[in-house]
Amino acid sequence: MPNEDVYILCYGWAVGYVRLPDGRRQILSILLAGDLFSSKLIFKETPHFAVQSLTDARFSRISRADLKARLDRNPNALGALAKVCVEEGTAADDLLIDLGRRSADERIARLILSVTERLRSRVVIREERYPFPLRQQDIADVVGLTPVHVSRVIKKFRQTGLIEWAGGSLTIVDPVGLRRIGLVD
Amino acid sequence: MPNEDVYILCYGWAVGYVRLPDGRRQILSILLAGDLFSSKLIFKETPHFAVQSLTDARFSRISRADLKARLDRNPNALGALAKVCVEEGTAADDLLIDLGRRSADERIARLILSVTERLRSRVVIREERYPFPLRQQDIADVVGLTPVHVSRVIKKFRQTGLIEWAGGSLTIVDPVGLRRIGLVD
DNA sequence: CGATCGGTTGATATGAATCAACGTGCGTGG
DNA sequence: CCACGCACGTTGATTCATATCAACCGATCG
């Protein structure tokens, strides 16, 4: 159904996803505090995906009409919006390349790297330890794999001393090694 | 390098793609006459992908500064641009779902359906026969498969009487059957 | 007329999925 | 406080979809 409003995640983690009728799920984006659910929804009343929180979360609602009015009045707000759109688009393109052309190891390494990178630009990180509330099922649904395969890859990453991950918090033990796997580009 | 201009495909077919250093290629979008190379490039000087034509093609160049000026002056042009951005974004999301969660058969059926759908809205089609200049390698690079696997799937589609395809032109013999494979959503 | 390009085909290999069992922590209700 | 159920992760065995390798074919073109 059409929706009058547009949402921003204020606190916590969430994902934007699509579920097919037979149960398959694809996560389109991982949302962190400060993210619009999608810039597309500013101009599109009927969303083509759903949003679900992974942690306690808060979001705020903005009336689309208000937002547009403010955009018209404030010309440099437009530039900011454009920037958000571009970032969202290139993130989608990056994920496309991952899903189309990269191996499971590469995809998961890159997911970890990209999320920690985004995290680092927003919150204070102490000694390479990041909050990481994604379940393995969620990771699987981002990178197009099975949760059991994700489990095996993560196990390998742990055993080779690349990462530590327990209780929703992650530390990258060997950033160089992880980048060697993920940063083919 | 930064680029002052922005391009529109006027005639022919092209693809926007990324090539990884080891040769792997992922096509991000199939461009038809009338398409912007990418709406992202209006606000972003350094493109993150390359474009290559599949047929004879013509494109026209527009200065980014001019375009922005025109956009400022003409408020309902902004709406048109927004629409293009949204369409581009949802197309990317659709492909993401394909690559992450759908089988080879589904992906290829959907690719055929989506391209013919776009084609139908722009040119006159006679008796379900479409121009289709993609090579199997190109199809493979869109849907994240190998050209030889694409060949096998196409063979199956031909043998089961779904499509005919030869000499760069395609006809959908059994649209219902093709949609039954591809339209799980 | 050989060379190249795109496609086809068969044999084989392999990455990831599937199926199934088990473990472990945790919240909840008795 | 215990017992149960549930969610999540792990592990092993097996299967399956797709990749890889290699040969060949037909059309096109210089």
Among A25, A46, A86, A137, which would you mutate to test the B interface (most chain B Cβ atoms within 10 Å of its Cβ)?
A86
**Per-residue DSSP letter, B42:** G
Q: Strands A129-131, A50-53: parallel, antiparallel or unpaired by DSSP?
A: unpaired
CB of A83 within 8 Å of a chain B CB? The answer is: yes
* pLDDT band, very low/low/confident/very high, at B1 (cuts 50, 70, 90): low
Q: How far apart are CA B88 and CA B95, in angstroms?
A: 11
Q: What is the pLDDT of residue B3?
A: 78
Q: Strands A58-63, A5-11: parallel, antiparallel or unpaired by DSSP?
A: antiparallel
Q: How far apart are CA B59 and CA B115, in angstroms?
A: 20
Amino acid making up residue A166: A
% of chain A at pLDDT higher than 90: 81
Q: What is the mean pLDDT of chain B?
A: 94
- Whole-structure pTM value: 0.94
B40: nearest CA partner in chain A: A86
Q: Please name the member of B39, B88, B93 whose beta carbon is closest to the beta carbon of A48.
A: B93
Q: How far apart are CA B18 and CA B50, in angstroms?
A: 6
Provide long-range contacts, Cβ within 8 A and 24+ apart, for A73-78: A75/B72
Q: Which positions of chain C lie under 7 Å from any protein Cβ?
A: 6-10, 15-20
Q: Are the C-beta atoms of A88 and A42 separated by less than 8 Å? A: no
More confident residue, B101 or A129: B101
Residue B91 makes CB contacts below 8 A (sequence gap 6+) with B29, B114
CB of B77 within 8 Å of a chain A CB? The answer is: no
**A93 and B96: CB-CB below 8 Å?**
no
**A48 and B21: CB-CB below 8 Å?**
no
Q: Are the C-beta atoms of B170 and B163 separated by less than 8 Å? A: yes
Edge-first strand listing for the sheet containing A50-53: A25-31, A14-19, A50-53
A140: nearest CA partner in chain B: B100
DSSP-assigned letters across all residues of A30-76:
EE-TT-BS-GGGGS-SS-SSEEEESSS-EEEEEEHHHHHHHHHH-HH
Rounded CA–C1' distance between A133 and D9, in angstroms: 14
Nearest to B94 by CA among B71, B117, B76: B117
Among B19, B97, B102, B143, which would you mutate to test the A interface (most chain A Cβ atoms within 10 Å of its Cβ)?
B97
Burial B92-110 (b: 16+ CB within 10 A, else e): bbbbbbbbbbbebebbbbb
Cβ-7 Å neighbors of strand C: A 103-105, 144-146, 148-149; B 135-137, 147-148, 151-152, 154-155
Q: What is the pLDDT of residue A1?
A: 65
Q: Are the C-beta atoms of B107 and B101 separated by less than 8 Å? A: no
Q: Are the C-beta atoms of A109 and A182 separated by less than 8 Å? A: yes
**A18 and B97: CB-CB below 8 Å?**
yes
Amino acid making up residue B36: L
Q: Which residues of A fall within a CB distance of 8 Å from B22?
A: 184
CB of A50 within 8 Å of a chain B CB? The answer is: no
Q: How far apart are CA A113 and CA A181, in angstroms?
A: 10
Residue A13 — φ and ψ, nearest 5°? Answer: -120, 145
When pLDDT is averaged across residues A48-57 and rounded to a whole number, the result is 96
Rounded CA–C1' distance between A4 and C28, in angstroms: 40
Q: What is the tens place of the pLDDT at every residue in A95-130?
A: 999 999 999 999 999 999 999 999 999 887 877 889
